[in-house]
Structure 1
Amino acid sequence: MPDKAQLLLLDRDQAAALLQPELVMAAVREAFLLHANGEGRIFPLVREVLPAGVFGIKSGGVMQQELLGMKAAGFWPGNRQHGADGHQATIMLFDPASGRPQCLIDGNAVTTTRTAAAGALGLLALARRDSAALCVFGTGVQAAAHVDYALRVLPALRRVRYLTSDGRRDPQFEARFAQRCDIAPGASPDAAVADSDIVITATPGRGPLFAAQAVRPGTHLNCVGSDTRGKRELPEGLPARARVWADDLTQALTIGELQWAPQTPAQEFGTLLAAGGRARHGIAADTITLFDMTGIALQDLSVARMLQQRALATGTGTNVAWPW
């Protein structure tokens, strides 16, 4: 009854505890396929620069699955002065039949994990199966999550080289992966890229990170940092040399790497997954492949629904009276 309705709350630690990699990857994969076949809808993006940071809203739904919701998220760099994460996100699921809120979830861990899972799906579909060397730009939360998932899904991956904005070593980042791979700073951006099979860019997107000619044939790139108008990580001319996929073309042309190369032929990643990936899509071994990852609402919502279901099954979270 409306006067007995409840709202389920999942805080930071509760949400993180329920995020199992296999379940997250399955939910994100479903989101891509729903997007590809038109069952899932993505509503217009809100992404605004504020004096203290960037604020955005990603929303959408799958009416056949009674899934409707949004994520309000952004980046406030000043938070780091207080020992807090600059990225902040909150996810809300609604009942599409009534509009009543059903579940409120701290979205930071969800955002990090679903993005890394999407990147892992990109690697499985587009990177060469014999890829042994990875170069990552950035050593923050997002970069670490992407390296973690890459090592999970690519058994041949043995070497990781990382680049920081100031060129310094990051002992904490190295320690996190030291037992799983050969990890060390890259000698230089171009040298690290040229010596890698996979390149992951996970930075604030302040400008091109390396030279286009450093990318050798057969390299795959997961591009994460460009998620706002004006952000950029790739050098001019690189997308034209590559076969390009985006999680959502409209969004990528607005806020992703494709905003800098709008005439570049590109496809949506969900169609590649539906078609069976690299081998079945006729991608030659010497082809440069590029995944422009801006993050879509359906990823957040599919993972949030999985968390809601697991929370209800395990008694996790707090129920608050929410009459309507």
Structure 2
Amino acid sequence: MSSDAKFLLLDAKDVGQLIEPAKVFDAMKRAFTLHSRREGRVFPVVREQLHTGGVFGIKSGDVPNADLLGFKAAGFWPSNRKAGKEPHQATILLIDPHTGRPLCLIDGNTITTVRTGAVGALGLTLLARPESTSLCIFGTGTQARIQLSFALRYMPMIKRVSYVTVNGQPDDGFEKELGHLCTLIHAQDPDAAVSESDIVVTATPGSGPLFSPAAIRAGTHLNCVGADTKGKRELPEGVLRRSRLFTDDRDQSRSIGEGQWDAECPSIEIGDLLTGKVRLTRDLEDITVFDMTGLALQDLVVAEMLWHLATAKSQGTTLSWPW
């Protein structure tokens, strides 16, 4: 074996220059198709509280027929906000499955943000009523912004957006960034905002139920982003049983997602819609929920794409990594 191996580093600037939302959207279709066909594997998730107040996790997996193996080490460090830094942190490592040697280390923050936004849009295109014109979003942080951006890109019929903040106050930065894309209204009453919307997106830290169960009207679709750890939730009690539940991964949803609060609730993995294993007929009165816990395959297929792009463009930092 060669002893003059190389190791590629892609920092946040490199990722920002290489990543393209449309290509990430297509990559998410690939990730879920691989998962549905069980051509890609996701290994058990590590998700642990730290003594520092942060949460640390590892999501890993592989795609044997593509020689793709790796993991994302990521989590949430709320104290970063005091330093004016992003509390969500992520790093992705691609590994040669034949030798175990590292191939590419990538700043995973932007990848996590964009791929989650793309997954949200995919959920909307598959599950929400196509004629939906109104949306309510909970949260105004990084993930809420990317969710709304992708939603408006892939659901052009949406014209009116209500947003709910944790402190009940308008968010000028949120409005400045996204207000030109739709009619953006700060909502004082969460229940009223939900009841007046065709689509509801929850993109918060998952600290507890965000609205009353009675606020959800027939025909509503909900994308739930924030529940990704044991003990987290955004939906009120009883909503899942009133709904048709869709997940990125059934077991993961029951372990760390909204599904943990009703583990017996039946669900459909969204990849099965893409592969035709399940054919969806959506009645006008159906309430649908997409529980987004995040799969290692989502990160790995995007990381692989960026690695190949960077190699072709001679971008990033190459280190000698002999062995």
Match of residue 215 from structure 2:
214
Whole-Å separation in 2 of the counterparts to 1:273 and 1:203: 28
- The answer to whether structure 1 residue 55 and structure 2 residue 56 are counterparts is yes
Q: Name 1:176's counterpart in structure 2.
A: 177
2:282 aligned partner: 283
Secondary structure of the 2:14 match is: helix
How far residue 275 of structure 1 moved from its aligned partner, in angstroms, is: 2.2
Q: Paired residue for 1:11?
A: 11
- Following the alignment from structure 2 to structure 1, what is the Cα–Cα distance between the partners of residues 293 and 237? 19
Kindly state the Cα deviation for residue 3 of structure 1 after the two structures are TM-superposed: 1.8
- 1:23 corresponds to which residue? 23
Alignment-mate amino acid for residue 153 of structure 1: Y
Partner residue in 2 for 1:254: 255
Q: CA deviation at 1:310?
A: 1.0
Summarize the alignment of residues 191-230 of structure 1 with structure 2, pairs less than 5 Å apart.
191-230=192-231
Q: CA deviation at 1:51?
A: 2.0
CA deviation vs aligned residue, 1:190-228 (integer Å, no higher than 9, x gap):
000001011000101111000111001111000000000
For 2:73 and 2:27, locate their aligned partners in 1 and report how far apart those are by CA, in whole Å: 20
Deviation at 1:28, TM superposition (A): 1.1
Q: CA deviation at 1:251?
A: 0.7
Q: Within 2, Cα distance between the matches of 1:83 and 1:223?
A: 26
For 1:2, what is the secondary structure of its paired residue?
coil
Q: Which amino acid aligns with 1:20?
A: E
- Shift in Å at residue 276 of structure 1? 8.9
Structure 1 counterpart of 2:134:
133
Contact 2:45 2:58 in 1 (8 A): yes
Q: How does 1:1-324 map to 2 (within 5 A)?
A: 2-52=2-52, 53-275=54-276, 280-324=279-323
User: How many Å separate the matches in 2 of 1:162 and 1:21?
Assistant: 23
Unaligned runs of 5+ in 1: none
| Residues 168, 188 of structure 2: 8 Å contact kept | no
Please give the secondary structure, in 2, of the residue aligned with 1:228.
coil
C-alpha distance in structure 1 between counterparts of 2:126 and 2:111, whole Å: 22
Q: Give the superposed CA RMSD.
A: 1.1
Q: How many residues align?
A: 322
State the SS of the aligned residue for 2:131: coil
Q: Please say if residues 124 and 153 of structure 1, whose CA atoms lie closer than 8 Å, have aligned partners that are also in contact.
A: yes
Provide the secondary structure at the position in 1 that maps to 2:85.
Answer: coil
When normalised by structure 1's length, the TM-score is 0.98
Secondary structure (helix, strand or coil) at the match of 2:70 reads: strand
Distance 2:277 2:265 in 1: 23
Give me the whole-angstrom Cα distance separating, in 1, the residues matched to 2:11 and 2:94.
14
SS in structure 2 of the partner of residue 144 of structure 1: helix
* Paired residues of 1:159 and 1:183 also in contact (CA < 8 A): yes
Distance (Å, rounded) in 1 between the aligned partners of 2:21 and 2:84: 27
In 2, Cα distance between the equivalents of 1:24 and 1:38?
A: 21
Write out per-residue CA displacement over residues 272-298 of structure 1, whole angstroms, 9 at most, x where no aligned residue: 122298xx5112122000000000000
- Alpha-carbon distance in 2 for matches of 1:199, 1:218: 11
Runs of at least 4 residues off by over 4 Å: none
Q: Secondary structure at the residue paired with 1:281?
A: coil
8 Å Cα contact 2:247-2:290 kept in structure 1: yes
Q: Secondary structure at the match of 1:55?
A: strand
**Is the CA contact (8 Å cut-off) linking 1:275 and 1:281 kept in structure 2?**
no
Counterpart Cα distance in 2 of 1:89 and 1:162: 27
* Paired-residue identity, %: 54
Deviation at 1:309, TM superposition (A): 1.0
CA separation in 2, counterparts of 1:159 and 1:314?
A: 41
State the distance in 1 between where 2:301 and 2:38 align.
15
State how far apart, in whole Å, the 2-side matches of 1:223 and 1:248 are: 14
Report the alpha carbon displacement of residue 2 of structure 1 after superposing the two structures with TM.
2.8
Q: 1:313, CA displacement in angstroms? A: 1.6
For residues 117-148 of structure 1, the C-alpha deviation after alignment (integer angstroms, 9 at most, x for no partner) is 01100000001101111100000000000000
